[in-house]
Amino acid sequence: MGQTVDINNILSIQMPLSVLLAEKKMSVQEILELAPGSVIQFAKNHEAPLHLMANRKIIGSGVAVKVNENFGLQIKDMGRHEDTINALGGF
């Protein structure tokens, strides 16, 4: 006998989100040479959109904004709901 699922229970699940600034490959040697004050330059323009991620998958993009004294992300684009649900684990 199948169980029914209350959609409200699913919609109330808390999921961690992250914002990806940029990515870069570095050698182990370069990583070991990093020290306080080191600057890592990325090949991404400072005005380029940042990726909003859930479950290590991109679900949207936006730009960095300041919210009081905190960092925020102003959403500029969100993927399809189906893609977001799949990224969250395919509920």
Length of the chain (residues): 91
The whole-model pTM stands at: 0.74
Separation between Cα atoms, residue 37 and residue 26, nearest integer Å: 17
Contact (Cβ atoms closer than 8 angstroms) between residue 51 and residue 58: yes
| Inside any domain, residue 9 | no
Does 31 or 79 have the greater pLDDT score?
31
Q: What local confidence, expressed as pLDDT, does residue 90 receive?
A: 55
Sequence-separated (6 or more) residues with CB below 8 Å from residue 23:
42
Q: How many domains does the chain have?
A: 1
**Position 39: which residue type?**
V
Q: For position 8, what pLDDT does the model report?
A: 86
Structural domain including 43 reads 15-87
- Chain segment 12-60, per-residue pLDDT in tens: 888 899 999 999 999 999 999 999 999 999 999 888 999 999 988 999 9
Q: Is residue 33 part of a domain?
A: yes
Instruction: List the CATH number of the domain containing 67.
Output: 2.30.330.10
Q: How many CB atoms lie within 10 A of CB 37?
A: 5
